Structure 1
Amino acid sequence: MRAFLFNLAASLLATVGVTDAVPTQQSAAAGPFLKTVDSQTWVIGNEIWNMTQGSIYGVKLYYKERDCVGRAVGHYVSYNGAANNLAWTSAAIVKNGTYKGVAYADIKFTAAEGDMHWVIFSGQHGAYQYFVNHALPTLGEFRTLWRLDNTTFPYGKTATKDDLLPPLSEYLPQNKVQDETWLKPDGSGYITKYDFTSWIRIQQYYGVYGQGFGSWYINAGKDYYNGNHLKQELMVHRESSTGDAVQLNMLHGTHFQVSSADVFPDGKLWGPWLWYLNDGSKPDAAAQAKEEFAAWPYAWFEDEAYHTRGSVSGRLLLSDGRPASNAAVFLGDDTPSKTALDMGSTYYYTTYADADGRFEIGGVRAATYGLQAWSNGSTIADVSTSLLRNGVVVSKDKETALGNVAWTVSPKKKLFQVGDFDRYSYGFQYGGAPNQHALVANCPANLNYTYGCSKVSDWCFGQTYRGNWTIRFRVGEDPSSYSGKRNATLIVSLAGYSSGASSSILANDKVVGNMTSGTPQLLSDPSLYRSATAAGEWRYLEFGFDAGILKKGWNAVTFQMTRNTTWHGFMWDSIILEW
């Protein structure tokens, strides 16, 4: 298809002249435009840039007198990986308008599944984009993306990584160890596209760039994304088969989740976001992002449902009297049947409470939501319970003031806690380190931790080898009198889990539970073997046992890994024993 479009463009240029065919940078029309070449080829752009769009791929992106796609694939929209690329059957300008005196055109490309829009302003370096669903199937992955010339865009940047994309010469077939992961030719480590993973909801701008050229995504509104604060996705990488520089816009992704297959209502809107071109300057991209965030929701976007928004505020108070300082706050599905990370059918909002437990979320689409909250560490790092309040109604131009929201915490006595309860591996050795494939292999097979003496960083972020990880702790009273009368509860909070690893849990050498691969609680997420070091999909497990198993003085809880798979296993968040 790509060769066909290139040949078509060349033929048109040779037979009818540049001004009547595919525009080059020098011959681009004034203002935003759509030019129909034939029933499967169109050209869009303005005075600054233009792109030739075929039935699937957008190619020949002219900017600053250069074709920024070159021999790469170009722009396209797809779902379920590259298995289903959307095919455009028609294109039309659906609106011409002006905003603050600047002309723009809303250009719609139609496919069976829905409509891809490019809103192009006169003089704009790039375009706003949005997609309206009409018939997408139940799916896990839906994306728009650019695959661009690798010499023009050799670097990739996200909020957490800014680096040269690995040279294609390092991707040696004999060194491939798993999905998109290769041992470096010199044996010094690994190269993998998953090292460029980052957190979706903290992004200000991200993309690929080089000397004189930058291509960026700026997603000021993030309510159309699936997932919560822990949602992370692949954003830029090197295409291993061709060397293309890849800039991904993962609108609905699953790269680090157990699953996230959702049904979308007709009319579900993703966007608008800004695709921004510049000279490769990161300060300029940052300044543009600041403007976009200040302007969201976009006043120029004429859609009634998009502008039907209100706000939610409240104060989270724990049942022990403390404010829920810095708690993570999430507005999601009412009476949910999925975890917060797995939700994705409609619109979702995240924030954090302040030190006094107060929060406010603005720009919320009118609907009924479920409010969730959980510890994000800090002064409430001991809180293992979560909050869910259903029936939160948001109305247009109104503040839904919830007042004080009560959050029940466990009244039980803690015998020990290892790690902050925050759904991340932060605080442990390597926890939250820059993404790196096989980092978990640096954690030991056997580990001894003494509560009250060891540092949290003495516990490693992930367990992947067969062996025993033991927590030693003291009990000041004699638990024997509680036998048959009082239960102890071991809480295991996992920041992630990758399949093929099972563990027996022992208290003073007696089996009190197990974590078994393949069970509903331990379906696999790809976090540990896809370079994640902070989180995958959070799991909460409880194991109750007779307190009489414990004794006065020294006791031990052991996680005995009985089955393992290379680079797979348990990523820890927090371990708590209470009665």
Structure 2
Amino acid sequence: MKAHSLTLALTALPFAAAKGPFLQQTSNDTWVLGNDIWNITQGPIYGTKLYYQGKDAIGSAVGHYVGADGENNLVWESASIVNKGGSFIDVSFVSEKGDLHWVIYDDLAGSYQYFVNRALGDISILRSLFRLDPDRFPNGRTYLKDEPLPSFKSILSATKVQDETFETSDGTYITKYDWSNYVRDRDFNGVYGPSTGSWYIHPSTDYFSGNHLKQTLTVHRESSTGDAVQLNVVQDTSHFQTQVTTSQPVGKIWGPWLWYLNDGDIADAARKHQEELTKWPYPWINDTAYHSRGSVSGSLKLSDGRVAAGAAVFLGDSDIQAPLAQGANYYYTTYADVSGKFSFANVRTGKYGIYAWSNGGKIGDVYTNFTKSGIDVKGKTNLSTLTWSVPTNKRIFQIGDFDKKTTGFINSGPYHHGLAAASPANFTFVVGTTNSSSWYYASSNLGTWNVEFSIAELEKPTARLIVSLAGYSQSTALTVLANGAVLGSLSKDNITTDAATYRSGTVSGEWHQFEYVVSNLKKGKNVVSFQVDRYVLWRGFLWDAITLEWI
């Protein structure tokens, strides 16, 4: 009878009636968990009644849940304390697909969380989230944006023009994709108000899929209910790339990350983020493989004698799958220093491949990639000096840096819906007069972009045109020409599509590179043309770089 009275107190009062972290089952499929600072009522799918600072932070909003690939939300069948220490408990909620753990400390406002796979199978997306009281959490914050979330009223009065994108009466757009960002550049994301903040802090990103260019959603206003959404997408091989699924190994762990509550103070959340960086890898994870880690170091030198200064370096799967699409294991990213040296610390032991590409700057002319498979990480792994083969052909011209991004072009970054439509239909770039900064990040409208250049002498009978795209969204089509002769076409027939261009992505989607042999150059004026001959609104081509070289 006393236990039943305690159960009622836990669900009715803003703070737990027991001291320290706790889990209390209140019915066959309902539990209350938390500590003296906060507690939440977890049902078979949704966590509701989040009591913090003396009142419910969820209210009429949906609450907390976990799901994969759309609204396939997990159903919790049981919960138990599976590990405990002097000041914490590890609570595991079990579902058919996997287990969500809450690691609750006695003095922590919030909880560490991690997810362990049972039977997810082939998936493209895995996420957890809180949908919270919109009045208590009116603002959103990422490393790119810190401002009020769009009002629910403004969404209701707008016209839906595509998925989660709405046009207002003044011609501007509201979309959750404007709040996206690159997962490995994050510090902390969250929603907050004058008195309360709710944040996700990821001290490590090794469980995220993909490479440096992996991007996904963060926070937004739920368009159907007005809830403030604090989104935590930890697996995404879909939203801003060619959609693929990856088979998830049994026992794979996503996390731990920290869900953190405070009084809405961003500076405090920033301090907490820095604190968590010093604590990771967390010692309380009860998993041997999690604690089995090593390191990888080496240096990259180009075959022409230069060091690979600033190169993007990715430690991923030891196979030929494109780095952005990798998502079954654990992944590490860094950049080489000015001398070409790189290192990775706290790498899970196992087999890896290493990949590198130009990130612009001193090696912005390099359009080849470096790959090396079969790297066995056990303890300290020193790869010494790796030689990266690069061509030494003489350039006729180059527009932009080869970095797999639209960086440096007009309208490149930040996230903004519909900017592709703002690029000109017709445009002329004069080599030697026009700067790369005058090129536009995207081609979309029907028309022709000409690159005009002069050749004093024909040094060789043929040249090679390299066209590098930072992304492509179908079904826009483009014809490539040299002095009026067709070299080839780019369309959905020979490029896999991604959603970046129409989902507010202005920097990258999925990278593609094409080569064309040009045999009709002449002395004097020449023209390479890119003619858009099929138009679809907000779709098109994201530009990385273009170069023409003698071969």
* TM-score exceeds 0.5: yes
Q: In the aligned structure 1, how far is the partner of 2:178 from the partner of 2:158?
A: 21
Aligned to 2:194: 211
Aligned to 1:85: 73
Distance 1:18 1:265, change over 3 A: closer
Q: In the aligned structure 1, how far is the partner of 2:319 from the partner of 2:82?
A: 38
Q: In the aligned structure 1, how far is the partner of 2:184 from the partner of 2:221?
A: 23
Does structure 2 retain, via aligned residues, the 8 Å contact 1:118–1:128?
yes
Q: Deviations over 1:526-567 (max 9, x none)?
A: 111111111111111112233xx0001211100011101001
1:235 aligns with 2:221: no
Aligned equivalent of 2:324, options 329, 334, 341:
341
1:523 aligns with 2:496: yes
Does structure 2 retain, via aligned residues, the 8 Å contact 1:518–1:524?
no
Does structure 2 retain, via aligned residues, the 8 Å contact 1:69–1:149?
yes
Aligned to 1:5: none
Q: In the aligned structure 2, how far is the partner of 1:284 from the partner of 1:104?
A: 22
Offset, 1:302: 2.8
1:390 aligns with 2:373: yes
Does structure 1 retain, via aligned residues, the 8 Å contact 2:481–2:530?
yes
Aligned to 1:354: 337
Does structure 2 retain, via aligned residues, the 8 Å contact 1:260–1:344?
no
Q: Aligned pairs, how many?
A: 548
Offset, 1:313: 0.5
What one-letter code is carried by the residue in structure 1 that aligns with 2:337?
D
Offset, 1:478: 2.5
SS at match of 2:324: coil
1:460 aligns with 2:440: yes
Q: Deviations over 1:167-196 (max 9, x none)?
A: 0111136611111111123x1411111110
Q: In the aligned structure 1, how far is the partner of 2:10 from the partner of 2:313?
A: 53
Does structure 2 retain, via aligned residues, the 8 Å contact 1:28–1:50?
no
Aligned equivalent of 2:516, options 537, 543, 546:
543
Distance 1:25 1:139, change over 3 A: same
Distance 1:225 1:449, change over 3 A: same
Q: In the aligned structure 2, how far is the partner of 1:168 from the partner of 1:501?
A: 33
Q: In the aligned structure 2, how far is the partner of 1:23 from the partner of 1:201?
A: 40
Distance 1:26 1:222, change over 3 A: closer
Aligned to 1:280: 264
Consecutive unaligned residues in structure 1, runs of 5 or more: 1-11
Aligned equivalent of 1:198, options 159, 173, 181:
181
Q: In the aligned structure 2, how far is the partner of 1:31 from the partner of 1:444?
A: 62
Q: In the aligned structure 1, how far is the partner of 2:528 from the partner of 2:166?
A: 38
Alignment of 1:397-416 (within 5 A): 398-416=379-397
Aligned to 1:137: 121
Alignment of 1:106-117 (within 5 A): 106-117=90-101
Of all paired residues, the percent bearing the same amino acid is 48
Offset, 1:137: 2.3
Distance 1:249 1:414, change over 3 A: same
SS at match of 1:289: helix
TM-score (norm 2): 0.97
CA RMSD of aligned residues (A): 1.6
Does structure 2 retain, via aligned residues, the 8 Å contact 1:23–1:50?
no
Does structure 1 retain, via aligned residues, the 8 Å contact 2:49–2:58?
yes
Does structure 1 retain, via aligned residues, the 8 Å contact 2:479–2:531?
yes
Q: In the aligned structure 2, how far is the partner of 1:36 from the partner of 1:18?
A: 8
Aligned equivalent of 1:503, options 462, 474, 478:
478
Q: In the aligned structure 2, how far is the partner of 1:541 from the partner of 1:134?
A: 41
Aligned to 1:263: 247
Does structure 1 retain, via aligned residues, the 8 Å contact 2:15–2:52?
no
Offset, 1:428: 0.7
Aligned to 1:451: 431
Aligned to 1:41: 30
Distance 1:493 1:123, change over 3 A: same
Alignment of 1:374-385 (within 5 A): 374-385=357-368
Q: In the aligned structure 2, how far is the partner of 1:300 from the partner of 1:460?
A: 50
Offset, 1:17: 7.6
Does structure 2 retain, via aligned residues, the 8 Å contact 1:508–1:555?
yes
Q: In the aligned structure 2, how far is the partner of 1:89 from the partner of 1:373?
A: 44
Does structure 2 retain, via aligned residues, the 8 Å contact 1:201–1:231?
yes
